[in-house]
Amino acid sequence: MRVHNLLSMVLTKDSFTWRVLESVYSVKYLTDYWQHYRPKAATTREIYLEFVSYCNLRCQLCSLDHLKPKVRMSIETLDRIFNQIFNDRRFRKVQIIHLHNAGEVLLHPEFKDMVSCIAVHKEKFKKAGYRFPELALLTNASVLKPELSDFIIHSGVFNYIRFSMDGGTPENFEKIRTRAKWNDFYYNVRYFLCRKKELKSKIHAGFISMVEAGKKLNTSWMHKEFIELYKLADSYELRHPHNWGGEVDLKDGRDLNKKYKIGCSMLMKQLVFLPNGDVTMCCSDLNSKGVIGNILEKGLFEIYSSYKRLNAIEHLFKNQKDQIDLCKNCPTY
């Protein structure tokens, strides 16, 4: 478990210690800020690929606008993204590619072909002697039937799979994750985890679990089937709700104007590709507020260097988050 995740489970977000840690974390931003202006260097370490813009669930605390157009990423767009990363050495330090942002990735009707396209690029990187970023999948598992689990395990391209399992009990799960059915989730995920074990697959499997604000971030009060799944997995992360960059009102009175903290490393580290080729600045942006260009029209470094992104970086450096539409209501975790 990452240290940050562990600390977020044991410290409250308004505690003195947490504030000190957030303040210390500014050093990371300042290092990246300095690096950003070095020629020929990109600070991007995480890329998000949104395969589809829509989802079959209606989770209570999700900011995804379900009325926006339903768009799927084409194989040609995916191909262009990987070619841009491959051809531009400034992006060789990308460490991880996440197959999610908004939307449910497994709803893409050509999911298997998309994965095959990624496998081809992985091979191309390998042949050229370049390190291929790790690949991570996050899913609500609603359509993860056994045949699809087998495909993912056998594909050989994934390093991580994580399941969203909120609530701590089946009743809470179905309440928070509206339209999801606990029994379907339990059997789909249990199959995956048991099959992974049987096949000795190296995919790291984990859970991200959001629990209601009043509940403890531990498993002592949880339903036995939750605990059973946690035990079958390699890791799990328990969280209280966050506000999706200010898109969801949690009414928790959280301090948004953190004068003791400089910057946000998500802005420095992330680029998010949407199904129509648009690129946004951060994975909290589920509804395209922070779009800085389109990969079908511009090169990757041109988008990375866009005025809108540089402007956001400068404002966060000067602790002027309120000047950026995307960030002004975000607690930056």
Footprint of ligand SF4 on 283-302 (CB under 6 A): 284
26 binds ligand SF4 per the rule CB under 6 A: no
Residue 203 and residue 55: Cα distance in Å, rounded? 24
Of 187 and 241, the one with the shorter C-beta distance to ligand SF4 is 241
Of 58 and 131, the one with the shorter C-beta distance to ligand SF4 is 58
Q: Which of 165, 205, 211, 266 binds ligand SF4 (CB under 6 A)?
A: 266
245 binds ligand SF4 per the rule CB under 6 A: yes
Q: Nearest-CA neighbor of 95 among 33, 2, 18?
A: 2
Stretch in the footprint of ligand SF4 (CB under 6 A) among 97-105, 198-206, 221-229, 250-258 = 97-105
Q: Which of 267, 272, 295, 303 binds ligand SF4 (CB under 6 A)?
A: 267
For residue 280, the cross-strand partners are 272, 291
Stretch in the footprint of ligand SF4 (CB under 6 A) among 11-19, 143-151, 183-191, 263-271 = 263-271
CA distances (Å), 113 to each of 108, 202, 207, 216, in order? 10, 22, 26, 42
- Give the N- to C-terminal CA distance of the chain in Å, as an integer: 17
- The HSE-up count of residue 324 (CA atoms within 13 Å, CB side) is 32
Q: How many CB atoms lie within 10 A of CB 223?
A: 18
Q: Which of 42, 47, 49, 62 binds ligand SF4 (CB under 6 A)?
A: 62
Residue 19 and residue 254: Cα distance in Å, rounded? 12
Residues that bind ligand SF4 (CB under 6 A): 55, 57-59, 62, 64, 102-104, 140, 164, 245, 264, 266-267, 281-282, 284, 326-327, 330, 332
